């Protein structure tokens, strides 16, 4: 009898130690969230390298539609429908290489540069939040932003699922405000593809007129310069939002000798 009581006590003590050890494994979320249990071993820092920006600013295709990530400026604003995503995506990789944390103040956008800081206003109740873009989506017509579960709770739209919102650009690289250097990795400059060069002015403008509108996005213009002391009329195709978009177009444009220029 005493032996059985001893064994039961020993089993109870071992079980207590095991369970107390498991409960002490906590994952501290960044971005204003609270501590929650998780299989991840440490806090993820904001991923903000030049390589990440270069990769995430390339055009991409989802469900047969092509998207072109684009540069933006402080105070740019847009309106549309917000949705949210949560438990099913928790701890899965986002488009910029971070782990999605449904308790952090982050969001997904189809084309904004990663780590763009946004003020989001729920137009139904006037509540406002600040979120950081670290993922791509939502790929549903008319929806412009997918909020984390935490962000959606803050503007009281979880139960309804969607809400009309206004989003305003208020910073870059995870920093609010237009401080020096905060836009270097996202304001990529204006890119063009040179599709022709002429000594004859009339010939240049005739050629440019032929490509006045291309694919509904790009337009031509003539840039006057000099070469060997003689006027040279270069025809540029403009409207590219990033170097990656210009390179993709050049690779399939069919223009002999075309090349990318930065205006």
261, two tokens: 């220029």
141 occurs within a structural domain: yes
pLDDT for the residue 178: 54
Picking from 127, 152, 176, the residue at the C-terminal end of a domain is 176
Render the burial of 26-50: b for 16+ CB within 10 Å, e for the rest.
Answer: ebebebebeeeebeeeeebebbbee
State how far the Cα of 56 lies from the Cα of 94, in Å rounded to an integer.
Answer: 11
Tally of CA atoms within 13 A in the half-sphere of 20 that contains its CB: 6
Q: Does 249 lie in the same domain as 205?
A: yes
| Count of the separate structural domains present in the chain | 2
State the alpha helices, DSSP H only, in 26-109. 50-56
From 130, 146, 176, the end of a domain falls on: 176
The reported pLDDT for the residue numbered 263 is 62
Q: For every one of its 263 residues, what pLDDT tens digit does the chain have, with 9 covering 90 and above?
A: 444 444 444 444 433 333 333 322 222 223 333 333 333 333 347 898 888 988 898 889 999 888 888 888 888 999 999 999 988 899 999 999 999 999 999 999 999 999 999 999 999 999 999 999 999 999 988 899 999 999 999 999 999 999 999 999 999 988 887 543 333 334 445 678 889 899 999 999 999 999 888 877 888 999 998 888 889 999 999 888 777 778 778 777 767 677 787 66
Looking at the structure, do residues 64 and 92 belong to the same domain, yes or no? Answer: yes
Domain shared by 63 and 169, yes or no: yes
Q: Which residue has tokens 């997904």?
A: 108
Q: Which helix (H) or strand (E) holds 20?
A: helix 2-23
Q: Both tokens of residue 178?
A: 């237009």
**Owning domain of residue 209:** 191-262
114, 144, 176 — which closes off a domain? 176
- Alpha-carbon distance 126 to 4, whole Å? 66
Per-residue pLDDT, 239 = 83
Q: Is 16 part of a structural domain of the chain? A: no
Specify the pairing of strand 143-148 against strand 117-122. Answer: unpaired
User: Can you give the CATH number for the domain in which 141 is found?
Assistant: 2.40.40.10
């Amino acid at each position: 009898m005493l032996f059985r009581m001893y064994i039961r006590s020993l089993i109870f003590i071992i079980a207590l130690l095991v369970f107390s050890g498991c409960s002490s494994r906590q994952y501290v979320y960044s971005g204003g969230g609270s501590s929650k249990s998780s299989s991840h071993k440490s806090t993820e820092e904001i991923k903000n390298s030049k390589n990440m920006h270069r990769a995430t600013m390339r055009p991409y295709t989802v469900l047969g539609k092509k998207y072109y990530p684009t540069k933006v400026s402080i105070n740019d604003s847009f309106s549309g429908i917000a949705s949210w995503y949560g438990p099913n995506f928790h701890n899965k990789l986002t488009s910029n290489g971070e782990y999605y944390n449904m308790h952090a103040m982050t969001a997904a956008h189809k084309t904004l540069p990663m780590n763009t800081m946004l003020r989001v206003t729920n137009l139904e109740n006037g509540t406002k939040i600040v979120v950081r873009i670290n993922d791509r989506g939502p790929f549903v017509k008319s929806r412009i932003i997918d909020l984390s579960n935490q962000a959606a709770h803050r503007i009281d739209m979880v139960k309804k699922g969607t809400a009309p919102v206004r989003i305003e650009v208020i910073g870059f690289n995870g920093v609010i405000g237009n401080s020096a250097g905060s836009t270097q990795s996202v304001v990529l400059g204006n890119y063009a593809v040179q599709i022709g060069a002429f000594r004859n002015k009339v010939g240049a403008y005739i050629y440019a007129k032929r490509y006045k509108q291309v694919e509904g996005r790009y337009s031509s213009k003539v840039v006057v310069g000099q070469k060997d002391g003689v006027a040279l009329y270069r025809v540029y195709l403009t409207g590219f939002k990033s170097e990656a978009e210009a390179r993709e177009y050049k690779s399939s444009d069919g223009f002999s000798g075309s090349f990318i220029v930065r205006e």
